[in-house]
């Protein structure tokens, strides 16, 4: 549980801890059987906004770190979109949000936590895009959707592994490990 505690105590990240990951009625829920003391939710997008950069990079809404056993963790990088239609959403732009989190936030700015050999989560790193696009309701087997295009993008590298973005409809639930 050390990683969760270290993130809570970080003088910068402690400003971006929240109780839930939600935006515009779309959320990821935390199951009732999950020990909230073993879980931390960080608002990655708020962190980047607080930097007041000339160009704020696109970033996902939340980073969730859940302690399982010993030094084993599950990490969720979450982007929430309350959209009825993916027509205006470019898969490459959504991908950039996840890249910012993995390649800048976790690999550079807060590398000491996410590249620490004591914490094992590389087998349990999940990139999740949550939306309920109208397209899902009327999909024909012959037609490619923007969700298909998003899911077909090349995996994003992190710590010598590659991770695919997964799509979920609202409101998936984080379960105990």
- Model confidence pLDDT, tens digit, residues 10-36: 999 999 999 999 988 899 999 999 999
Alpha-carbon span 9 to 58, nearest angstrom? 26
Query: What per-residue confidence (pLDDT) applies to 150?
Result: 73
Region of residue 24 (phi > 0: left; psi between -120 and 50: alpha; otherwise: beta): left
- Say if residue 127 is exposed, middle or buried (CB neighbours under 10 Å; 0-12, 13-18, 19+): buried
Q: Find the mean pLDDT for residues 145-162.
A: 82
The predicted pLDDT at position 85 comes to 54
**Residue 135 pLDDT greater than 60, yes or no:** no
DSSP code for 101: I
Q: Is the dihedral of CA 90, 98, 145, 170 positive or negative?
A: negative
Number of compact structural domains in the chain: 1
CA distance 27 to 162: 25
Residue 142 predicted with pLDDT over 60: no
Q: How far is CA 102 from CA 28, 32, 145, 177, in A?
A: 19, 28, 26, 22
Residue bearing tokens 């704020």: 56
The span from the first CA to the last CA of the chain, in angstroms, equals 13
- Domain coverage including residue 49: 1-174
pLDDT exceeds cutoff 80 at 3: yes
pLDDT digits (tens, 9 = 90+) for 79-118: 998 765 556 678 888 999 999 999 999 999 999 999 999 9
* pLDDT band, very low/low/confident/very high, at 125 (cuts 50, 70, 90): very high
Cα–Cα distance, 42 to 20 (Å, whole number): 9
Contacts of 85 (CB under 8 A, 6+ apart): 133, 134, 135
Does 37 sit behind a cis peptide bond, omega within 30 degrees of 0 on the bond before it? no
- pLDDT above 70 coverage of the chain, percent: 89
* Region 136-147 average pLDDT: 55
- Predicted confidence at residue 147, as pLDDT, reads 73
**Whole-number pLDDT of residue 9:** 97
pLDDT digits over 25-73, tens only?
A: 899 999 999 999 999 999 999 999 999 999 999 999 999 999 999 999 9
Per the model's pLDDT, the better-predicted residue between 143 and 165 turns out to be 165
CA–CA separation, 6 and 10 (whole Å): 6
């Amino acid at each position: 549980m050390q990683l969760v505690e270290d993130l809570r105590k970080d003088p910068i990240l402690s400003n971006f801890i929240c109780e839930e990951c939600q935006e515009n009625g779309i959320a990821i829920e935390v199951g009732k059987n999950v020990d909230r003391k073993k879980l931390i939710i960080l608002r990655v997008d708020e962190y980047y906004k607080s930097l007041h950069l000339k160009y704020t990079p696109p970033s996902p809404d939340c980073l969730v770190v859940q302690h399982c056993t010993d030094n084993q963790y599950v990490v969720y990088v979450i982007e929430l979109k309350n959209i009825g239609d993916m027509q205006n959403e470019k898969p490459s732009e959504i991908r950039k949000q996840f890249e910012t989190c993995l390649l800048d936030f976790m690999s550079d700015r807060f590398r000491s936590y996410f590249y620490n050999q004591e914490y094992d989560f590389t087998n349990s790193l999940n990139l999740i895009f949550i939306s309920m696009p109208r397209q899902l309701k009327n999909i024909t087997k012959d037609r490619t959707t923007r969700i298909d295009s998003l899911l077909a993008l090349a995996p994003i590298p992190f710590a010598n592994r590659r991770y695919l973005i997964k799509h979920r409809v609202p409101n998936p639930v984080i379960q105990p490990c």
